[in-house]
Structures are given as structure tokens and as C-alpha cells.
């Protein structure tokens, strides 16, 4: 019917093995597709991508681009009747030009591998999603991934200079440029970044690399309550300080870590901040940070040396694994203006009380990005109402549904509430410009109707 054989006979690598298809159809969101995809195509070059998308467009078959499948909003979910286009084998670091501060990569490069290669030149790739060890650059670009040091160094979009993209018509589009600045034409690079595979398949990227900071300093602090912790973040800003990382953990999370590790973090305070400074004045800046923190914290721990800093960082790192021990989780991702962070945490506590659903909250506090982790307990209350209440809370506080994970399929019912009709309509028409046949990851990010 769809002449899939005609496509597959021209491609070097694909599978229709049901076990492969089952793996290729899901991501880390927990969302369940409506069946198995038709095939998973492993792209081994741009040609395979052009061929697959062109065939799909001609026959109206949905194509789901896929990196590592580490997404948590269902962006890579692929159900029956779809082609999964797996980019993970396109994983060459094509070129690093240290003196220009750029790298040219294929989309399947693992984020941490690029960072490691850059480090050989004293450079780094600034975006640092917690999934860096297994997510791909292509997936990071498609979701505009963030991480712990965004507050100072920006999100993925801020590090992408140029893209090679196969559009929904099978055309190879070059966006941007390999210079550090440039304003010729519209910014198609930024448009494709964060588009969750709905405007084009990223087959190559030119990204910025920055010098590894000469020094970093780290502190952790415990506060009597959330509001006091959040106020400390505001006071850091008022003092003109620019930490590279400001992470918040709530008391539920501290307790979960204690339960997992046998520690006593939860006794030190009811809210936690991790703050890092970096660059030439890292130690001096940290001294100023500590002064601010000490004004209201119950406990402040600092560390200049790398090993001790790692120990402090460990607390933050253990947050998610400690919660995941308790059961299946939904990793939420709302953002509010930084001055509304305490209201957001209070609102989440209210949702917990009202619904009985257990939620653990940590946050990239410096940019107001909360990750409420919703526990899905077999014998617990249904979580849908709590999640909806969370989205309503974020929008009420002047915030947004997603800071770095994307809309995927999980948040699409809320899209119109945030964007409004004029914007959504215009975005759908932009989608049609890139993908007139509507075959690129349909139903994700921007809903069809």
C-alpha cells in the first residue's frame, strides 16, 4: 500500500523486528503508543534521511525522528503506521575548530561526548542537561534542552549557530552560519531549535564552544523554609552576583534522598540551595554568595576543591534517582517568574494536600524552572488532576508549561491555553511551510487542529 518495500530496499539499515519496534516507539515519558511503528530506519547518512522523508511525504506516512529516546514528554512516541527515523548512528564529531570556538557535529553525537572532545582543547559545550551522558545533540536541539548552568550560559538555542535540516519536502536546508554573529535573513536556526522534530530532521549542527572556566566554587545551604530559600536567590540577584548554577530542592526531596542514602539532610533545613560560581573571580564571588546565604540559612557548606565540590553536587544529583526508587514518576517542567517561585512551591504543596498525589519539587531556581516530580503509585490516587492543577498554577503565576522538556504529546491539551489562538494558528501555518504534507512528527509540539 505505502510501498514501504520500495523505500526499504534503498536503505542500508532498518528493522521490523517487533522487539526493536517496541523499543523505538517509546521514550522516557512513560506514555504508551497506540501500537507498533511500521519500521525503524537507522540513518547512516543524510541521503537516508532525505530518502525516508521524501517517501513518507509522497505516501503520507508519519515520520518520528528519534535521538536517544530520553525525552520525557513523549516527543519521540511512535505508534502504529509511523516510521521511526533513528539518528543515533549519525554520531560523528565532524570537526572542532578551537580557535573559532565552534564544533561541527552529526545529530546522533552524545552530548557528553562532544563536551569531552571539546575539553581536549580547553573548551566546553555549555548546555549540560542532566541526561548529557545518554541524550543526543539532535534531541537536545529538537527540545532546546537546558541544564544546570543555563542561568549563566543559556540554553541549547544559545549555543547553536547553524543547522542542516531535512524539511518535510525532503529538501536539505542550511540555516544560520558558522560565524559567531550574523543577521542575513530570518532566524530559521532558532525556529528549528525546540521544534521537536515537527519542522525538519536535524542532520548536522554547528555549535559554539566556550572556554572551560578557570575556576569554580561551590556551596550548599539549608533554610528553615522555602520562602526563605527563594528570597536568598533574590538577594543574590540584588547583590549583582551571577552564579553559574542555583539549584533548589524541597523538603520532600531531601527526605527522599535521606531514605535512599540513610542521611540526615532533612534535619538540616526544610529547603536546600546549591550555588556555584565560576570564572576568574569564582572564589571572591563565592565569598559574597556565602555572606548572602548565611544571613538566613541554618547550615552553609562550601568547598573550593574539586572532590569536596563533587560531594556537595552529589546531593542534587541524587534527587531524581532517590525519588524514582519510590515508583514510576512524571518529570514535570514548568517555569514561573523567579519572584513567584515560592508561590509556585506553596501551590504545589496545596495540590499535594488537595489530591493526595505525592510530588517532589526541585528547581533550576536561577531561572524559575521547576521540576515537580509526580509519583505514580499503583495503589495511589490518579495523578491527572494534580498534573492539570500544576499547569494551571504555572499559567496563573505568569509562567509557562515547559522550560526545557517540550510539549511532546503530554502537554498538548494545554497548548492553546498558553499560546492563544492567533499564535497557535500562525505556528500551524509555519509548520505547513516546512512540512506541507504534515508527515513530520504529527500531533507533537504543535497540535494539528
Ligand X SMILES: Cc1cc2nc3c(=O)[nH]c(=O)nc-3n(C[C@H](O)[C@H](O)[C@H](O)COP(=O)(O)OP(=O)(O)OC[C@H]3O[C@@H](n4cnc5c(N)ncnc54)[C@H](O)[C@@H]3O)c2cc1C
Positions 206 through 265 that interact with a second copy (CB under 8 A): 210-214, 234, 237-238, 240-242
For 33-46, letters b (16+ CB in 10 Å) and e give beebbbbbbbbeeb
- Report in angstroms how near the CB of residue 268 gets to a second copy at its nearest: 26
Give the CA diameter of the chain.
70
Residue 317 interacting with a second copy (CB under 8 A):
no
**Which residues lie closer than 8 Å to 9 by C-beta, 6 or more apart?**
none
**Complex with a second copy: residue 261 or 339, whichever CB lies closer:** 339
Please report, as residue ranges, which positions from 347 to 376 form the binding site for a second copy (by CB under 8 A).
364, 366-369
Residue 338 interacting with a second copy (CB under 8 A):
yes
Residues in the chain, overall count: 449
Distance, in Å, from the CA atom of 84 to the CA atom of 16, rounded to the nearest integer, reads: 10
**Which parts of 242-340 fold into alpha helices (H)?**
251-261, 265-268, 282-294, 306-324
- With CB under 8 A as the contact rule, the residue among 46, 296, 298, 400 that binds a second copy is 400
Distance, in Å, from the CA atom of 55 to the CA atom of 408, rounded to the nearest integer, reads: 24
- With CB under 8 A as the contact rule, the residue among 30, 79, 81, 154 that binds a second copy is 154
- Report in angstroms how near the CB of residue 143 gets to ligand X at its nearest: 4
- Report in angstroms how near the CB of residue 78 gets to a second copy at its nearest: 21
**Complex with ligand X: residue 43 or 290, whichever CB lies closer:** 43
* Helical pair 282-294 and 226-238, crossing angle rounded to 10 deg: 140
**Complex with a second copy: residue 33 or 406, whichever CB lies closer:** 406
**Complex with a second copy: residue 36 or 162, whichever CB lies closer:** 162
Q: From the CB of residue 122, how many other CB atoms can be counted at a distance below 10 Å?
A: 11
Distance, in Å, from the CA atom of 147 to the CA atom of 131, rounded to the nearest integer, reads: 9
Binding mask 16-55 for a second copy (x = CB under 8 A): ----------------------------------------
From a second copy, ligand X, none, interface partner of 399 (C-beta below 5 to 8 A by class): a second copy
- Which residues make up the interface to ligand X (CB under 6 A)? 27-28, 64-72, 75-76, 87, 107, 129-131, 135-136, 138-140, 142-143, 145-147, 196-197, 201-202, 320, 404-405, 441, 444
Residue 295 interacting with a second copy (CB under 8 A):
no
From a second copy, ligand X, none, interface partner of 179 (C-beta below 5 to 8 A by class): a second copy
Residue 399 interacting with a second copy (CB under 8 A):
yes
Q: How far is CA 55 from the centre of its chain?
A: 30
Region binding a second copy by CB under 8 A among candidate stretches 51-59, 88-96, 193-201, 303-311: 193-201
Distance, in Å, from the CA atom of 27 to the CA atom of 410, rounded to the nearest integer, reads: 12
From a second copy, ligand X, none, interface partner of 204 (C-beta below 5 to 8 A by class): none
178 three-class SS: coil
For 295-315, letters b (16+ CB in 10 Å) and e give ebbeebbbbeeeeebeebbeb
Question: Under a CB-based contact definition with an 8 Å cutoff, are residues 409 and 73 in contact?
Answer: yes
From a second copy, ligand X, none, interface partner of 107 (C-beta below 5 to 8 A by class): ligand X
Amino acid at each position: 500500500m505505502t510501498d514501504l518495500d520500495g523505500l526499504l530496499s534503498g536503505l542500508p539499515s532498518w528493522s521490523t523486528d517487533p522487539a526493536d519496534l517496541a523499543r523505538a516507539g517509546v521514550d522516557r515519558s512513560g506514555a504508551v503508543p497506540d501500537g507498533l511503528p511500521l519500521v525503524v530506519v537507522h540513518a547512516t547518512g543524510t541521503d537516508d534521511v532525505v530518502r525516508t522523508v521524501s517517501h513518507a511525504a509522497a505516501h503520507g506516512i508519519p515520520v518520528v525522528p528519534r535521538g536517544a529516546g530520553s525525552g520525557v514528554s513523549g516527543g519521540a512516541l511512535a505508534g502504529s503506521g509511523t516510521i521511526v527515523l533513528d539518528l543515533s548512528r549519525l554520531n560523528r564529531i565532524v570537526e572542532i575548530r578551537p580557535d573559532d570556538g565552534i564544533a561541527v557535529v552529526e545529530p546522533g553525537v552524545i552530548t557528553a561526548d562532544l563536551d569531552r572532545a571539546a575539553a581536549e582543547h580547553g573548551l566546553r559545550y555549555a548546555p549540560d542537561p542532566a541526561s548529557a551522558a545518554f541524550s543526543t545533540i539532535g534531541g537536545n536541539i529538537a527540545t532546546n534542552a537546558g541544564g544546570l548552568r543555563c542561568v549563566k550560559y543559556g540554553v541549547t538555542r544559545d549555543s547553536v549557530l547553524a543547522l542542516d535540516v531535512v524539511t518535510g519536502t525532503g529538501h536539505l536546508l542550511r540555516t544560520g552560519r558558522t560565524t559567531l554573529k550574523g543577521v542575513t535573513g530570518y532566524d530559521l536556526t532558532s525556529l528549528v531549535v525546540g521544534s521537536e522534530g515537527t519542522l525538519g530532521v536535524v542532520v548536522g549542527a554547528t555549535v559554539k564552544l566556550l572556554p572551560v572556566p578557570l575556576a569554580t566554587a561551590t556551596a550548599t545551604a539549608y533554610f528553615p523554609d522555602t520562602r526563605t530559600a527563594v528570597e536568598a536567590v533574590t538577594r543574590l540577584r540584588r547583590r549583582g552576583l551571577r552564579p553559574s548554577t542555583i539549584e533548589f530542592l524541597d523538603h520532600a526531596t531531601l527526605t527522599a534522598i535521606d531514605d535512599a542514602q540513610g542521611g540526615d539532610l532533612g534535619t538540616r533545613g526544610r529547603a536546600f540551595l546549591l550555588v556555584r560560581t565560576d570564572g576568574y573571580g569564582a572564589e571572591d564571588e563565592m565569598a559574597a554568595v556565602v555572606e548572602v546565604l548565611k544571613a538566613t540559612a541554618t547550615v552553609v557548606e562550601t568547598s573550593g576543591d574539586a572532590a569536596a565540590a563533587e560531594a556537595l553536587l552529589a546531593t542534587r544529583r541524587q534527587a531524581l534517582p532517590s525519588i524514582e526508587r519510590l515508583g514510576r514518576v512524571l518529570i514535570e517542567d514548568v517555569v514561573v517568574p523567579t519572584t513567584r517561585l515560592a508561590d509556585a512551591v506553596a501551590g504545589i504543596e496545596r495540590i499535594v494536600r488537595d489530591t493526595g498525589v505525592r510530588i517532589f519539587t526541585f528547581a533550576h531556581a536561577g531561572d524559575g524552572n521547576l521540576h515537580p516530580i509526580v509519583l505514580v503509585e499503583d495503589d495511589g490516587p490518579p495523578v491527572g488532576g494534580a498534573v492539570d492543577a500544576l499547569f494551571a498554577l504555572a499559567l496563573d503565576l505568569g509562567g509557562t508549561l515547559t522550560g526545557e522538556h517540550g510539549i511532546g504529546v503530554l502537554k498538548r491539551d494545554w497548548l492553546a491555553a498558553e499560546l492563544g489562538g492567533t499564535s497557535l494558528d500562525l505556528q500551524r501555518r509555519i509548520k505547513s511551510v516546512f512540512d506541507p504534507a504534515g508527515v513530520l512528527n504529527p500531533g507533537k509540539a504543535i497540535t494539528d487542529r
